[in-house]
Structure 1
Amino acid sequence: MFAEHHDLIHEFPEHKARIHDLKMSDNHFARLFKEYDELDHELRRIQQNIETPSDEVTEELKKKRLHLKDEMFRMIIAE
């Protein structure tokens, strides 16, 4: 099974420049971005059966990733 890409550039390609600007200028956004990227990487490893946590753990990781994505999206569209 191939893991889906959920990194922010795949999720919001129309905001690529804004994401880059925020990563460079906003420490809070940069921290959230790093945490999101790490979660996304971990979830891809789970999808590829490299890691095999319980379903509950996987669902919690997905919820956390979604929460981070929502928070970052609010920052991306705020100008």
Structure 2
Amino acid sequence: MFPEYRDLISRLKIEDEHFARIFDRHNDLDQQIKNMEAGIVPADGMTIENLKKEKLQLKDSLYQILRKASNV
């Protein structure tokens, strides 16, 4: 995710608690979704769809933070 911001992501995960929390939640959701889609964890389509929406919102938030931090 966002390879052009790799260094900035590493820095923000250490320096910005809010960013780190959002980043970790995004990664947790990504793994949950993969497990559900693979059938490892039982889930219906609506649950997966809702998790994907939450994950996308988090990704948007992360991107906004990255853009703002890169312009400083």
Q: Which residue of 2 aligns with 1:27?
A: 17
Q: Which residue of 2 aligns with 1:39?
A: 29
Query: 2: CA distance between counterparts of 1:20 and 1:44?
Result: 24
Query: 1: CA distance between counterparts of 2:23 and 2:60?
Result: 11
Q: Which of structure 1's runs of 4+ aligned residues deviate more than 6 A?
A: none
Query: 1: CA distance between counterparts of 2:49 and 2:37?
Result: 12
Query: 1: CA distance between counterparts of 2:45 and 2:38?
Result: 14
Partner residue of 2:6 out of 6, 10, 16: 16
Q: Which residue of 1 aligns with 2:43?
A: 53
The C-alpha deviation readout for 1:1-24, integer Å capped at 9, x for no partner, is xxxxxxxxxx21111001111101
Gap regions ≥5 residues in structure 1:
1-10
Query: 2: CA distance between counterparts of 1:17 and 1:43?
Result: 26
Residues 1:78 and 2:65 aligned together:
no
- Alignment RMSD (CA, Å): 0.8
Gap regions ≥5 residues in structure 2:
none
Q: Which residue of 2 aligns with 1:65?
A: 55
Q: How many residues align?
A: 69
Which structure shows the bigger proportion of residues in helix conformation?
2
Kindly state the Cα deviation for residue 47 of structure 1 after the two structures are TM-superposed. 2.1
Of all paired residues, the percent bearing the same amino acid is: 33
